[in-house]
Amino acid sequence: MKRIIISGGGTGGHIYPAITIYKEIMKQNPDAQVLYVGTEKGLEATLVPKEGIEFTTLPVQGLQRKLSLGTLVTLGKTAFSLVKANTIISNFKPDVVIGTGGYVCGPILMAAALRNIPTLIQEQNVIAGITNKILSRFVDIVAVGYKDAEASFSKAKRVVYTGNPVRPDVLVDTRADGRNYFNLSDDTFTVLIAGGSRGARTINNAMIDVHKHFQGTKGIKLIHITGDGEYKSVLSQLGITDGDGLGDSSVILPYLHDMPKALAAADLAVFRSGAIGLAELAVRGIPSVLVPYPYAAEDHQTYNARIFVQEGAAHMIVDQMLSAHDLIGEIEMFMANRDLLSQMGERALQLGKPNAAHDIAKLALSIAK
């Protein structure tokens, strides 16, 4: 029976890949015993136990850029985390340790590597996160989501281009399933607008006039997922009380649990360029208009988006420049130019790696003691 530690924390971009890899490991090795190491305050503390995965925490947080009392507290927590990580490893005795990014990975992966326990980290972005950059010098394998990310890991022992893990349910629904779910005819041009789990204020604000522009227009449906925190503000700016209140051309939702249905239905997406969202667009072959989040660490979303633009799978609009006029222009251009839409969809599909989770799980199990 293989004993496996998985760690990843802070944002959904680190946690969802970890959960996807966990599920694939259980498919390949049903007897495996898995322990997830996260933080108490991160999103993982809610998401991971819901999956029925054994969960424990480390007291770690990100380093601040300038020296202060807070930095000293953080360094103290990091030192204590290394001690606790060592204890977790001594008690659990893992055969392999997998990290998917975030500060919490640092202590547990470092402790495992220093004890010669096989280790693998998965980097989702083109520009590597600081924790993964440091860890890459010590771990056995770095699995990268983008070929271009290999440049960040010149000191690593072994780098493997696997692509980013995508939830299996993203690939289950057919276009007809997605269309039926939203009650759409096959010829309705469907645009999926989403800014990630927390929403994206710039995109939401630009969408106000987009909804008004297309109100009453036949043959188009805007499926706009605002994020919980922004939903009421969007409705208020549109002067409506619920997400169906703007007529047949729009549906506005705070959150969508059945995102795979929306992906199955979409002809075009307006998205941020987080690595996992892009991986899902790619495996479904959905062309996109990308608005990278400008404050992401190392501006990694812009670098992610550029790959899709270079490959002809997306157009990009800089966040500070985004306007309703731009989005209306993009949507109308794609509606009128279905050949380009189809061609960009094909290019997106070529970037997709539907077997990434399977390949990462296989790699991890192949190096396990």
In whole angstroms, what is the distance from residue 178 CA to residue 66 CA? 49
In whole angstroms, what is the distance from residue 203 CA to residue 160 CA? 35
Helix (H, G, I), strand (E, B) or coil at 157: coil
- Beta strands (DSSP E) in the chain are 3-7, 33-38, 54-57, 96-99, 119-123, 141-144, 159-161, 189-194, 220-225, 250-253, 268-271, 288-290, 314-316
Token digits for 301? 């979303």
Whether residue 46 contacts residue 15, with contact meaning beta carbons closer than 8 Å, is answered with no
Helix (H, G, I), strand (E, B) or coil at 97: strand
Residue 301 annotated in ligand binding? yes
Nearest residue to 351 (alpha-carbon basis) of 296, 301, 314, 302:
314
Residue 81 annotated in ligand binding? no
Handedness of CA 300, 108, 366, 44 (dihedral sign): negative
Do strands 268-271 and 250-253 pair parallel, antiparallel, or not at all (unpaired)?
A: unpaired
Q: How far is CA 307 from CA 301, 365, 366, in A?
A: 10, 30, 30
Backbone torsions φ then ψ of 334, nearest 5 degrees: -70, -35
Nearest residue to 13 (alpha-carbon basis) of 258, 331, 301:
301
Assign 3-state DSSP to the chain and report helix, strand, coil percentages, each to 5. Answer: 50, 15, 35
Token digits for 192? 């999926």
Residue 116 annotated in ligand binding? no
Residue 91 annotated in ligand binding? no
Residue 125 annotated in ligand binding? yes
Binding-site residues for UDP-N-acetyl-alpha-D-glucosamine: 11-13, 125, 167, 197, 301
Binding-site residues: 11-13, 125, 167, 197, 301
